[in-house]
Amino acid sequence: MKLTRHPRRRRLRRWLDGAGSERVTRHIEQCARCQEELEALSALDAAVVEELDAALTVPDDVSRRTREALESRLRSEAALGVFVDLFGVAGDLVRLVVDDTPLAGPGDGGAATHGDDAQADTPTTDGEDAQADTPTTDGEQR
């Protein structure tokens, strides 16, 4: 059976994709207009493929740029950490100078004290221990 009219563009595209019928193939072989349309569709497909390839191709320097950005961020975070540490030291110094509060030592959980409690382990002027009323391990009073 012979085609009485030209195949639509959708049918020509299917023919290009390998899904065309014998009838369409015979028509295309004899029709210059449909052959031109197929060439235009093929050129369009090639242009689309070329554009997609260009858009999806990873730039050559993407690895270098990624590494440099990561290193820069790590340096910035390290600098921020140093700044925060220095800010903490400055706060401790201000507290030491202004408040006359001793700094918390390692392991004391911030329980450093000042004043009467700080003198609890120091001997009195008469040679007796400041903790004279503290019971000993055997239960007796000192």
Pair (18, 50) in one structural domain: yes
Would residue 115 be called left, alpha or beta, if left means φ above 0 and alpha means ψ between -120 and 50 degrees? left
18: domain range?
A: 9-56
Position with higher pLDDT, 2 vs 51: 51
Pair (46, 82) in one structural domain: no
pTM of the model: 0.31
Looking at this protein, which amino acid is placed at residue 6? H
Asked, for residue 48, whether it belongs to a domain, the answer is yes
Total domain count, the chain: 2
Position with higher pLDDT, 21 vs 57: 57
Supply angle C-alpha 98, 99, 103, rounded to 5: 105
pLDDT in tens, 34-89: 888 888 888 877 788 888 888 888 888 888 999 999 999 999 999 999 989 998 89
- Provide the token pair at 8: 């639509």
Q: If you ran DSSP here, which 8-state letter would residue 59 be given?
A: P
> Could you give the CA distance from residue 91 to residue 139 in angstroms, rounded to a whole number?
45
Pair (81, 109) in one structural domain: yes
Look up tokens 């994709």; give the residue. 17
Asked, for residue 16, whether it belongs to a domain, the answer is yes
Find the mean pLDDT for residues 1-24.
75
pLDDT in tens, 87-107: 889 888 888 888 766 666 666
